[in-house]
Structures are given as structure tokens and as C-alpha cells.
Amino acid sequence: MALVIPATAFVVSAAPSTVQDVSGGYSFTALGDPADHTFNQLLSINDFGKIAGYFGSGLSPATHPNKGFTAAPYSGSTFANENFAGSQQTQVTAINDWGNTVGFYALSSGANYGFLDENGVMSSVSDPLTSSKPAVNQLLGFNNNGEAAGFYNDSKNNSHAYIWDRVTRIFTPINPPGAVSATATAINDHGTVAGFFTRGNGSTLSFIKQGDDWRTLSVPGSRTTEILGLNDEGAAVGMYEGTHKRTYGFIYSGGTFKTISDPNGIGSTVVNGLNNVGQVVGFYTGPKGDTDGFVADNHPVGIPVVR
């Protein structure tokens, strides 16, 4: 997850034939903050349908910065700004069922740090091992137990995954075997951690860590597979790179990858979050080059299911 994620058009191509496309089983709804119709990314959705994300490409931080928000359940009829005080840019990356959030913010120096927002009280979070110049430290996942998943960069700009506990304030390293660089993106209520890592040959694979058990995952035929979200049932979502560098969203469940791509996209879909009731959120590149957020579910159109 980078602070600046430009909208890019990709060459349209078919998904790898070995990966079943289940997009037709989902109902997609475009959703974005009306403050910016050109760039929205939805990054997380809790079990009550409340969504976290941001608008603004960040390509010009002074004039088009990332600005964080949360959106009212599912329909997005109400957007609430959420930005770290004194920051130039903010992304809200994860929201739990209590409505508390984590994310990261950037200063004008280019340094960025994680944050926790509990009931409107925001605090900065940064692993003390962060040594990159400028500093890079981000929180990307959050569960109902107050545990966050994230990473920091070292002096060589390699990423190091970790879990942070809001009660103990302890950072616990997550080190996938064979990783040169690693990012933890999600943690569920059972303490299972997921993310992605890069090997020495440049390939990017995903991991799921449950206790001492590690699973390394890659979409067949893809050089890049990134898990970005994980629910309590063990289902994961993310993105993979197909032919011609086209990106597809996926859901991983029961040991199988399946493609989810928004039909309005022209060549790129990223599924960034999911909840326990079948709803997913993400973003895609539209025909005008805009980056548009979406929420989708595999239930009847427009009817969110809440436990």
C-alpha cells in the first residue's frame, strides 16, 4: 500500500484461464466521496457495512492530496472526513466493528506514520525500528481486539511486516520465510495475519500466518499476488497481475483463487477489503482514467446482510 497510487490505464486482456471469474455473482455499486469525483479508493468494510477509504490521487500533495473518510453503511449517503491533525495527506485503511480505525498520514517532508483513531481521539503509531529517510511506517489492517497489521521501512527502503497491539503498544515482527521485503496488510479476530512479500528474484507472493503455520500463496500464472484483506472465516481478498500487466481482484477461499473484477473497469481492479457477510470493497480504473471506488456483495442487489 503506497501513499500515492496513481490512476493508470492498462491493456485489456483475459484473466488466466486457470482462475475462475466469479464477478457475475456479485452486485457492484460505484461509491466515492463527492468531494472528488476523479479519485476514490475504498479500503475496508466492517460487518455493519461502514466503509473506510480516501479521495485524492496525491500526485500533487499541495493541490490534490489524499484525504481520509469513513462512509455511512453501504449506501455511502454520508461521508465523514477523517484526517490526522497537521498532516498533508491521510489514508484511512481499516475499520473494525467498533467503528475505530487505523491508517497512515504524511507530512510535507514526505515522512509518513501510522495512526489509531478511537472514538475520535487520534494517536500516532510508529515502529521504533523505522530507519528510512524519509520515514515510512503504515498501519493497514485492524481487528476487533485492537491489533493492527502494518510495516515499516529500513534504511535500504526494504519493508518489514509487524503486528501492533493497542493495549501493550508492542510491535511484533512478522517475517515470511524467504522474504527480502514484507508487508502485513490484515489481521482477523483469531489473530491470523496476512499480507505479501517480495523474494530476491523480484516475484511478489502472499502469505497467511496462523499461529506457527505459514502458507505461501500465488495466483497460478501470476508474478505478483497481494493479499490485502482477511475475514474471520479465513477468506482473503487482494489483487494479482495478469498478462500485459493488467490487474485483477481476487477472493481466496477454501484453497482456491477466484477473480472478482468490476465490470466498469477498463483493465484494473483491486479488491482491498471484505467483511464476514459477503461484502467486498475496492477500486478500479474507469474509461476516463478516473479511479473509482466500489462496494460489491454476493447477496440480492442493494440489500446488505448484517449479522
Residue 302 lies inside a defined structural domain of this protein: no
Predicted pLDDT of residue 299: 66
Predicted pLDDT of residue 242: 80
Residue 272 lies inside a defined structural domain of this protein: yes
Predicted pLDDT of residue 16: 54
Q: What is the CATH number of the domain that holds 106?
A: 2.120.10.30
Residue 307 lies inside a defined structural domain of this protein: no
**Would you call 93 helix, strand, or coil by DSSP?**
strand
- Quick one: how far is CA 271 from the chain centroid? 8
Q: What's the number of domains the chain is made of?
A: 1
34 upstream amide cis, omega within 30 of 0: no
Predicted pLDDT of residue 287: 87
- In the predicted model, residues of the chain with pLDDT beneath 50 are 1-15, 301-307
Predicted pLDDT of residue 195: 98
Q: Per DSSP, what are the bridge partners of residue 42?
A: 53
Predicted pLDDT of residue 241: 92
Amino acid at 135: A
Which residue in 281, 307, 287 sits closest to 53, CA to CA?
Answer: 281
Predicted pLDDT of residue 265: 87
Residue 304 lies inside a defined structural domain of this protein: no
Residue 187 lies inside a defined structural domain of this protein: yes
Predicted pLDDT of residue 306: 34
Residue 12 lies inside a defined structural domain of this protein: no
Residue 9 lies inside a defined structural domain of this protein: no
Which residue in 274, 272, 273, 279 sits closest to 306, CA to CA?
Answer: 279
Q: Residue 219 is part of which domain span?
A: 20-297
Predicted pLDDT of residue 72: 85
Predicted pLDDT of residue 76: 63
Query: CA 259 to CA 253: how far, in whole Å?
Result: 11
Q: Is there a contact between 8 and 246 (Cβ–Cβ < 8 Å)?
A: no
Residue 78 lies inside a defined structural domain of this protein: yes
| Nine-digit cell string for 283 | 477500486
Predicted pLDDT of residue 307: 29
Amino acid at 237: V
Q: Is there a contact between 250 and 237 (Cβ–Cβ < 8 Å)?
A: yes
The model's pTM:
0.91
Query: CA 194 to CA 198: how far, in whole Å?
Result: 14
Predicted pLDDT of residue 234: 94
- Label residue 106 exposed, middle or buried (CB < 10 Å: 0-12, 13-18, 19+): buried
Which residue in 58, 49, 52 sits closest to 33, CA to CA?
Answer: 52
**What is the phi-psi region of residue 109: left when phi exceeds 0, alpha when psi lies from -120 to 50, beta otherwise?**
alpha
